[in-house]
Amino acid sequence: MTNIAEKTPLVKLTNVGKQYSKLTALDSVDMQLAQGEVLGLFGHNGAGKTTMMKLILGVISPSHGNVEVMGMAPDSKEAWHMRAKIGYLPENVSFYEQLTGLEVLTYFAKLKGFDKKHAIALLEQVGVAHAMKRQVKTYSKGMRQRLGLAQAFIGHPALLLLDEPTVGLDPIATADFYKTVDDLKNQGTSVILCSHVLPGVEQHIDRAMILSSGKMLAMGSLEQLRAAADLPVAIKVKGLNGSLRKDSHLVKYLLDEKNGDLLTVPEQDKLTTLRQLLAYESIKDVSVDSANLEQVYQYYLSRHLSVNTSSKNNTKEQS
Amino acid sequence: MKQILAVANKEFHDGLRNRWLVSITIIFAILSIGLTYFGAAASGTVGVTSLSTTVASLASLAVFLIPLIALLLSYDSFVGEQESGTLLLLLTYPLSKSQLLLGKFLGQGGIIALATVLGFGSSALILYLQLNDIAVLSVFATFITSAVLLGLSFTAIAYLISLSVSEKSKAAGFALITWFFFALVFDLALLALLVGVEQGISQQGLTQLMMLNPADIFRLVNLAGLDRSDINGALAIAIKSSLSQGQLFSILLAWVVLPIATAIFIFRKKTL
C-alpha cells in the first residue's frame, strides 16, 4: 500500500499549457513531483511560475493537458477535500491589516477546520507569537512573511507551494525557514519552492526546474543540470607565482593570462588538472568551485535567449 | 456551512471593529428620533406628530441613506481582497466561491440589518411610548423589514460592482453612480416620462417601471398604507394602482436574491 503511494507522484503535469487571450502563460510543461520531494521552480517575473502554481492549486484550469494532484484534477469538485492538505504562500499578499496576527491566522485555520490552538502553535513555530496580539499593520515585512508561512503550514499539509518564501526575511529567519522545509521534507511533505535564484537554496532542493516565458528550459537535479550545461569548474590556486603560464597543459585553462591563479576547467578534466596542480611543490592552497545554481540558471536562460534571437533573425532573412 | 459561518463571523466582526455598526445605528437613531420630534416643525409645532407624517419623512430619508450606506460598506468586499491578494489565497482553501460570497453577505448584511433594527427600532419605541398606539408597532415593523431588505438589496448590488471591476477606486466610482442612478435619476426619468410624453404610460405601466428600482419599491411599501395627503408626485399615482404589500415585499426580496445569484454567477466565471 505504501509502496503504491510512494510510486504514484503527488503532482503530475502532462503536457500542460495555459493560454490567456493573447498571452501564452505556460506552454506544454511536463512535471512530476514525488512525495517528500522538494522542487525549486526558477524563472524571471512572468516566466509562468505563478501560473503553474495556480494550475496545481486548481484556481485556474489548464487550456490543454492534464493536471493531477493526489490522483485528482485539482479544479474538479471531487478534489475539494484535498485542498485542506495543500498549503500555499502567495507572492504578494497583505493580510487584513486591521486584524491582529492571531485573528488572521485563526480565521484561516477555521476555514481549514482547525482551531485557535493550532493557530497559536503555528505562530510560535514561525516566531511571531510575541506579536500575535498586535495588529498586522504594525508588522515588519519579515513578520508578515512569517505570518504568511504560518498560514501555509496550517493543517500539516502534504503539499506546500511557496511563492518567494524568503523575500523580506533576514538571514537568520531564512535559515530557520530552510530548516523548516528540511523538517517538512523529512516528514514526507512535498514542497514546490518558487523563486528567483537565491543563494543558499541549492542544498534544500532535490530538483530544479527552470522556466522562461512559459517554456520549461530544463529540469533535473542540480548535478544533472550542471552536467548537461557542461559548465566549467573554477579552480583557484595559491603559491604558484605564475609558473602555470609556462605549463603547456594548464595554460589553456587560465582564464586570464595575467592572473595566474584562476583556472576554468571542464568538469571531465577536473581531476587530471588537480593532479597536475598538486604535483607542484610550491602550491599552498587550492579551492574548487563547481558552477552554482545561479550560473546554471544564467546558462540555460542565455541559451534560450540566443536560440530565440537566432530564430527571429532567420524569419527576418526569409521574409 | 461551517465555512460560511466562519466568513460571516469575520465580516461581522470587521463591521464592529470599523465602527460601522455603531455609526450606522447612531445615524439612523438620530435621524428617526429627530424626525419623530421635529418633523412637524415647519408647521409650527414641536413634538410627536402624526404617525403617517413621521413614517413618510423617515421613508424619504431612508431611501437615500440606506442604499448609500450599504454600497459604502460593501463595494470593496471582493475587489479589496483581490488587490491585497487574500482573495486568491482564500480560493485555494476548501471554500467554494458561493460559500465565500454568502458568508460575506451574511456578515455584512447582518451589520446593515442590525443597525437598521436598532436605529429605527429606538424611535419606534419612543413613538409607541408617546402615542401609546399599537399601530405604531405594525407600521414600524413594515418600515424596518422593508428597510432591511433595501439594505440587503444594495449590499448585493455592491457585490456585483465589486466583482465586476479590478480596481478599488473604480468600484467606488461605480458605487456612487449606482447610488445616484437609483436614488435620483431613475425617479426624475420617470417623472419626465410622465410629464413629457403625451399619451405616454398608463398607471399600470408606471407601477411596473417602478419595480425596476428597489428604492421605489421601498417607498411604495411604506407610503401605500399611509394618509394620501402626505404623498405627492409620481408616487401618488403609482400608489393608486397599487400592488398588495405581499407582492411588493416579494419583489423587494427578489431584488436581494437576483443580484446575489448574479454575483455568484459572475464570481464563478471570474479568473484571478
Residue A114 three-state SS: coil
- Which of B86, B90, B99, B269 should be substituted to probe chain A, the one whose Cβ sees the most A Cβ atoms within 10 Å? B86
pLDDT of residue B236: 61
CA B123 distance to own-chain centroid: 19
A93 to chain B: closest CA residue: B85
Complex ipTM: 0.87
Euclidean distance between CA atoms A198 and A175, whole angstroms: 13
Q: B11, B81, B89: which to substitute to probe chain A, counting the most A Cβ within 10 Å?
A: B89
The answer to whether residues B57 and B51 touch, using CB atoms and an 8 Å cutoff, is: no
Contacts of B85 in chain A (CB under 8 A): 90-94
Return d(Cα A226, Cα B172) in angstroms, integer: 53
Closest Cβ opposite residue A59 in set B3, B96, B272? B272
Grid cell listed for A34: 514525488
CA distance B100 to A265: 59
Q: What share of chain A is helix, strand, coil (3-state, %, to 5)?
A: 45, 25, 35
Question: What is the CB neighbour count within 10 angstroms for residue B200?
Answer: 12
The beta-carbon neighbor of A83 closest among B84, B86, B92 is: B92
Three-point CA angle B48, B51, B53, nearest 5°: 90
The Cα A302–Cα A307 span in angstroms is: 8
CB contact under 8 A, A94 and B2: no
HEC readout, A219-233: EECHHHHHHHHCCCE
CA distance B159 to B109: 11
A 169-208 → B contacts, CB under 8 A: none
Selected residue with higher pLDDT from A260 and A280: A280
Interface with B, mutate which of A111, A112, A162 (most B CBs under 10 A): A111
Among A49-58, A184-193, A273-282, name the one with the lowest average pLDDT: A273-282
Q: How confident is the model at residue A203 (pLDDT cuts 50, 70, 90)?
A: confident
Q: In chain A, which residues have their Cβ closer than 8 Å to the Cβ of B86?
A: 93-96
Give chain A positions within 8 Å (CB) of B271: 60
Of the candidates B112, B113, B90, the residue with the CA atom closest to the CA atom of residue B101: B90
Residues 6+ apart with CB under 8 A from A147: A95, A101, A104, A105, A123, A126, A128, A136, A139
Chains A–B, number of C-beta pairs less than 8 Å apart: 61
Q: Which pLDDT tens digit goes with each residue over A213-226?
A: 888 888 888 888 88
pTM, full prediction: 0.86
How far apart CA B180 and CA B71 sit, in angstroms, is: 11
Which of A66, A42, A45, A43 minimizes the C-alpha distance to A56? A66
A113/B271 touch (CB, cutoff 8 Å), yes or no: no
pLDDT band at A1 (very low <50, low <70, confident <90, very high): very low
pLDDT along chain B (272 residues), means of 10: 92 92 92 77 64 83 93 94 92 92 96 94 85 84 94 97 94 96 91 76 78 91 67 58 80 96 94 78
Closest Cβ opposite residue A57 in set B3, B92, B96: B92
Place of cell 393608486: B240
Number of domains in chain B: 1
- Domains along the sequence of chain A with CATH: 2-226 (3.40.50.300), 232-289 (no CATH)
Q: Which three cell numbers stand for residue B157?
A: 448590488
Q: Which range marks the domain in which residue B9 is found?
A: 2-269
Give the closest of A86, A91, A96 to B92, CB-based: A86
DSSP character at residue A124:
H
Phi-psi region of A27 (alpha: psi -120 to 50; beta: other; left: phi over 0): beta
Could you say which of A88, A94, A111 has the minimum Cβ distance to residue B3? A111
β-bridge mates for residue A69, sequence order = A11, A72
Q: Does the beta-carbon distance from B92 to A96 stay under 8 Å? A: no
Higher pLDDT, B200 or A50: A50
Asked whether residue A318 carries a pLDDT value surpassing 70, the answer given is no
Closest chain B residue to A91, measured at CA: B85
The residues in A 212-271 lying below 8 A from B, measured between CB atoms, are: none
Contact between chains at B6 and A111 (C-beta distance less than 8 A): yes
pLDDT confidence of residue B229: 54
Per-residue pLDDT averaged across A199-211, rounded? 85
CB B103 within 8 A of CB B260: no
CA distance, residue A143 to nearest chain B CA (Å): 17
Q: How far is CA B264 from CA B3, B94, B98, B156, B165, in A?
A: 16, 17, 6, 10, 15
- Reported for A303-307, long-range contacts at CB under 8 A and 24+ positions apart, including other chains, are A303/A217, A304/A212, A304/A215, A304/A217
pLDDT-derived band at A263, boundaries 50, 70, 90:
confident
Q: Is the pLDDT of residue A105 over 90?
A: yes
Q: Which grid cell sits at A103?
A: 485573528
Chain B segment 90-109 residues within 8 A of A by beta carbon are: 90-96
- Confirm or reject contact between A76 and chain B (CB < 8 A): no
- Give pLDDT, residue B160: 96
| Kind and range of the H or E run holding A286 | strand A285-289
Cβ neighbours of residue B220 under 8 Å, at least 6 residues apart? B207, B210, B235, B238, B239, B242, B243, B248
Give me the pLDDT at residue A319, please: 40
* pLDDT score at A3: 44
- Mean pLDDT of the residues in chain A: 83
User: pLDDT band at residue A160, thresholds of 50, 70 and 90?
Assistant: very high
Element (H, E) at A145: helix A141-152
Out of A93, A110, A113, closest to residue B85 by CB: A93
Q: In what order do the strands lie in the sheet with A285-289?
A: A262-265, A233-238, A285-289
